[in-house]
Structure 1
Amino acid sequence: MNKIEYTTIRPLRTLNLLSQEEIQRISNSSEDLHRLFRDCALAILNTDSYQDDAEQILHTYADFDIKLVPQSRGVVLEIKNAPAQSFVDDKIIRGIQEHLSSALRDIVYTDFKILAGQTSPTSEQITDSVFMILRNADAIKPNTTPNLVVCWGGHSIPREEYDYAKHVGYELGLRNLDIITGCGIGAMKGPMKGAAVGHAKQQVKTGRYIGISEPGIIASESPNAIVNELVIMPDIEKRLEAFVRLGHSFIVFPGGVGTVEEIFYLLSILLHPENKQGIPLVFAGPESCREYFDTLDKFLRRCLGDEIAELYQIVIGEPATVGHIIREAVDSVHQARRESQDAYYFNWQLHIDPMLQQPFIPTHENMASLRLYPDMPRHELASNLRSAFSGIVAGNVKAFGIREVAKHGPYIINGDPDLMRAIDDLLRIFVREKRMKLGQDENAYKPCYKLLD
């Protein structure tokens, strides 16, 4: 494994000036804040890696370290044993240097300004925190009409699906639409890369390719090289809220358990009785994914009833059609926001239930205690299903989840027999289609979960 043994770089544009306490806590190896920044920095320097096992990445680069060194003109980052792919002729790639600066900005701001003093924040305070983190990152543009398309999908996908996502991104770029993704590879990189070409053809010089991540997932989904605005939220729940508050429409490409988690999060919001407004949602994939979306559609109907299909549209093939649908959807959002006097840049009027905002910690106790029964209110069932799939994501790729499963065995998930069979059927398909983990086939994958009825 090639490494850069020692280098120093200067943060770009942000945080050249830090307090002594901030420098000390970021640089002190005994501080949790140092470990947080170190792990995020390693993930960023591991950009475009095709390894999604966070625990393995941390093991491979166990000797990696990063510290802040105060100087007369601010601070520099002192880096030891960094992944070599982030450097050209021993100089760090500019985009990766900016991503490191963004990580430092978000971690310092979140810890010192947002989380300091918070014990049991209300739902409104959590939404305010999401807004303030995004505003501090300059991700909120108050004088821009709606044009942000959230693209969700898997990082472990075949080439045909990646090319399709890229073609859809190209159609979005031609229509002057910007992209938000989870910032990783696969279906997160494809739309950004395609949109960059579409923007270039339209002479758009200010195309936005926003990547939103969080510390638990960034190591397994390192930011791709197209991202030009990186934001690191403190947890997965605030990351998901950032998507729905910023985005003006949504496209879901084929993916695995992480994509299903995101779908259930959004559907829980749309199903909540306090939300009368819709959010444009399109499921899209190439012809080879027709069966995938048939399976996903049937799964969602089995879990939440046939009427759930009224909340999304499925498009197979035809990237230009997807682009046209999304352009019209964003224009409709623009009109609705103008009529309701809601902000273009942040969906304040959307109601998000507190159960979707409180961090779900995937311990074995929490996973086993999830209630998964069809007689529950549908938005609550969708929220609990989101938590179940979040736990499976953690067991697959997040360092905490991997350690929990290694220590205590697979997560136990209980619930209604029909729901358990529906989940089992879907997960077996994901394993067969290699959508659970990068580079693992059906025989190599060891489930981190066990379903009981």
Structure 2
Amino acid sequence: MTALLDTALPTVSARIYPRGGLDVLSRDEVAKLRDASTGIHDLLRRCALAVLTSGSASDDPRAARELYPNFDIQVHQQDRGAVIDLIHAPAMAFVDGELIRGVAELLFAVVRDLAYTAIELGCDQSSLQTSDDITDAVFRLLRNARILHPTEPNLVVCWGGHSISRDEYVYTKQVGYELGLRGLDICTGCGPGAMKGPMKGATIAHAKQRRRRTRYIGITEPGIIAAESPNPIVNHLVIMPDIEKRLEAFVRIAHGIIVFPGGVGTAEEILYLLGILMREENAGLPFPLILTGPTPSAPYFEQIDRFLRLTLGEAATSRYEIVIGDPAAVAKRMASGIRKVREHRIAQKDSFFFNWSVHIPFEFQRPFIPTHEAMATLDLRPGRKPYELAADLRRAFSGIVAGNVKEEGMRRIEAHGPFEIHGDADYMRSLDALLRAFVEQRRMKIAGEYRPCYRVLA
């Protein structure tokens, strides 16, 4: 790698040579990544900039581009392999003119995943017409990212907010530490807060147990990565094409899931998983799901629990347990649950590394575009099957996430005003109370005054 430090701005221009999974690219892949007319190059530029500003405290997806307006990335294929040119890249990603190795690995993952999506799936993914098509695409994306390994079940997915209190963050580290002591690896959404804490705690425990082959997997998608840049601990980054495939990837590779306090994105994840687990086809499927936080966060989970009981019914509560203020108990219960998962996979002849047995209906897989019309016509009324209602509630929260931190959603709000969410009066009162609590507890944005991107109407 050769580098030239720019004197006018805190940026570095460099040429780097990828290794490990990105040794060569086809001419077609390089052409796709360089083509400005399709939007792929702009997507590459945005995702690469997010990786190069890893550790940023901002959750505004436009902030990095405003700070580094001249940044660009160019991918070339030479006789000896792939070459990446970084132009006016953030200096924070370099040490003495050399790109930090972990940052380089994540950058190569960005190029790898976007190239694979552009070629293998097609930019519009129009060939994915059935549930099986989508699941197969998720499998191929994860396999291409070298995430799928036939090892013993030990992967815990941790969900939670990027904007959490200090006490909550410390608690996520404590839980991660207890998980690491028990030989469990961590997968999160790859960002800060509750996505970083469990990984950080696990690193210490893994070191104490002398575990050298550790996995800290971060799964993101293009719309969210700029607002939630990968934290420095992630050593396996995967960029899925959209939020629905990201959520399916979590569920397919998880051996258990822990949910920490969070905001609308965390609520979306909970509703997605419960909607799936409440399907009759998944009734006998062991899937440990624990909601946990420090003692001061107990009211948060009480409110989440009330909302789930009201909307999805008492049956939903049988699929999760709430553990407050006890990291060791969380890890013990998760380890016990994963042992049951192992036994079930063996009995069903299902793989340890990809959960083929879980049934995910098409309504949970079809990408949802949160336009004002789509948000206003969500069917949020009693009398529907719980999984059907969960699917639409998930879309409502997904739309709010888009309006909060995704650039396209933010543009829609700026142009047309807040989304309107309609539904049953009791549901809407509970939803409004939940969202107000998120705002008051500063779970919507890391910094600055939050202006709601939604209106809840009965």
Same fold (TM > 0.5): yes
SS at match of 1:220: coil
| Structure 1 Cα separation of the partners of residues 400 and 228 of structure 2 | 16
| Structure 2 Cα separation of the partners of residues 222 and 2 of structure 1 | 22
Would you say 1:428 and 2:428 are equivalent positions? no
Query: How does 1:129-144 map onto structure 2 within 5 Å?
Result: 129-142=137-150, 144=151
SS at match of 1:187: helix
Paired letter, 2:136: D
Q: 2:452 aligns with which of 443, 447, 450?
A: 447
Moved more, 221-230 or 71-80: 71-80
SS at match of 2:157: strand
Would you say 1:9 and 2:16 are equivalent positions? yes
Paired position in structure 2 for 1:222: 229
CA contact (8 A) 1:217 1:397 kept: yes
Would you say 1:194 and 2:201 are equivalent positions? yes
Paired letter, 1:291: P
Query: How does 1:368-383 map onto structure 2 within 5 Å?
Result: 368-383=376-391
Paired letter, 1:243: F
Paired letter, 1:110: T
SS at match of 1:348: coil
Paired position in structure 2 for 1:88: 95
| Structure 2 Cα separation of the partners of residues 95 and 268 of structure 1 | 36
Shift of 1:79: 1.0
What does the per-residue CA deviation read over 1:51-91, in whole Å, with 9 as the maximum and x for residues that have no partner? 11113333333321100133342222111222222111121
What does the per-residue CA deviation read over 1:81-124, in whole Å, with 9 as the maximum and x for residues that have no partner? 22222111121110010001111111111211123774352100
CA contact (8 A) 2:286 2:337 kept: no
SS at match of 1:274: helix
Paired letter, 1:21: D
Paired position in structure 1 for 2:111: 104
Shift of 1:147: 0.5
| Structure 2 Cα separation of the partners of residues 445 and 3 of structure 1 | 30
What does the per-residue CA deviation read over 1:381-434, in whole Å, with 9 as the maximum and x for residues that have no partner? 011000000000000000010000001100111111111111100010000000
Q: 1:364 aligns with which of 364, 367, 372?
A: 372
How well do the aligned residues superpose, as a CA RMSD in angstroms?
Answer: 1.4
What does the per-residue CA deviation read over 1:297-354, in whole Å, with 9 as the maximum and x for residues that have no partner? 1121122123322111111111111111111011110011111111111110111010
| Structure 2 Cα separation of the partners of residues 146 and 335 of structure 1 | 10
Would you say 1:330 and 2:338 are equivalent positions? yes
CA contact (8 A) 2:286 2:341 kept: no
Would you say 1:245 and 2:252 are equivalent positions? yes
SS at match of 2:186: strand
CA contact (8 A) 1:55 1:402 kept: no
Shift of 1:374: 1.4
| Structure 1 Cα separation of the partners of residues 265 and 64 of structure 2 | 19
Shift of 1:5: 4.0
Would you say 1:39 and 2:46 are equivalent positions? yes
Would you say 1:293 and 2:298 are equivalent positions? no
Shift of 1:19: 2.1
Aligned residues: 449
What does the per-residue CA deviation read over 1:219-273, in whole Å, with 9 as the maximum and x for residues that have no partner? 1111100001111111110000000000000100000000000000001101112
Q: 1:27 aligns with which of 19, 26, 34?
A: 34
| Structure 1 Cα separation of the partners of residues 370 and 9 of structure 2 | 34
CA contact (8 A) 2:18 2:108 kept: yes
Paired letter, 1:395: G
Paired position in structure 1 for 2:238: 231
Paired position in structure 2 for 1:398: 406
Paired position in structure 1 for 2:360: 352
Paired letter, 2:92: Q
Paired letter, 1:206: R
SS at match of 1:284: strand
Paired position in structure 1 for 2:445: 437
| Structure 2 Cα separation of the partners of residues 357 and 61 of structure 1 | 35
The gaps in structure 1 that reach 5 residues or longer are none
| Structure 2 Cα separation of the partners of residues 115 and 129 of structure 1 | 11
Paired position in structure 2 for 1:128: 136
Paired letter, 2:217: I
Moved more, 235-244 or 74-83: 74-83
CA contact (8 A) 1:215 1:235 kept: yes
Query: TM-score of the superposition, structure 1-length normalised?
Result: 0.97
| Structure 1 Cα separation of the partners of residues 99 and 128 of structure 2 | 41
Query: TM-score of the superposition, structure 2-length normalised?
Result: 0.96
Paired letter, 1:447: P
| Structure 1 Cα separation of the partners of residues 430 and 22 of structure 2 | 49
Moved more, 372-381 or 22-31: 22-31
CA contact (8 A) 1:275 1:350 kept: yes
* CA distance 1:93–1:258, change in 2 (3 Å): same
| Structure 2 Cα separation of the partners of residues 321 and 269 of structure 1 | 26
| Structure 2 Cα separation of the partners of residues 315 and 2 of structure 1 | 49
The gaps in structure 2 that reach 5 residues or longer are 1-7
CA contact (8 A) 1:12 1:97 kept: no
CA contact (8 A) 2:222 2:239 kept: yes
Paired letter, 1:384: D
